[in-house]
Amino acid sequence: LVSYLLFPLPLPQSGTQAFDIESSLQAAWLSLALMFPVAFLSGVSLPMVITCVQRKIPNRMNAAGLTMLFNTAGAAIGPLLAGFVFLPSVGFQSSLIIAAAGYVGLAIFATERSNWSFHERSGRLFLLLGLVFLLAIAFFPYHRAE
């Protein structure tokens, strides 16, 4: 956020169809709106993941260490794959879809099979989230920004 506040913005050009941000305050609010939800949910989800890992690995230090190892490895490998493999080969929007499918795959992999019963609340929620994902993919505005 500070980098956007200190970065000089170009003057808006009239007659262009491009999206222009006209002030540093607008850039700050836009940055906050785009980054805060993801940062907040990431901050909430890591302790939840550590708690789930602690159910399988009783030693708290080992559970937290293993979770942080995979979190750090993913944070290092993900941008490299995105920047050097997916973006040049399939483009921006397809890269987003691949990333979303990867997150869904990880969620399925991490979910205990006993929670998949549709007679339980968690199974119905899992089904609902799967349907929401399929609908989002079906109605995604492909090639909108390319």
Note the pTM of the prediction, 2 decimals: 0.62
Which tens digit of pLDDT belongs to each residue from 64-94?
999 999 999 999 999 999 999 999 999 888 8
How many structural domains comprise the chain?
Answer: 2
pLDDT of residue 21: 62
My answer on whether 97 and 119 are in the same domain is yes
* 55 belongs to a structural domain: yes
* 124 belongs to a structural domain: yes
* 16 belongs to a structural domain: no
* 83 belongs to a structural domain: yes
**Rg of the chain on CA atoms, in Å:** 20
* 25 belongs to a structural domain: no
My answer on whether 141 and 95 are in the same domain is yes
Write down which residue in 89, 107, 124 finishes a domain.
Answer: 89
* 65 belongs to a structural domain: yes
Residues of the chain with pLDDT under 50: 1, 4
Structural domain of 65: 36-89
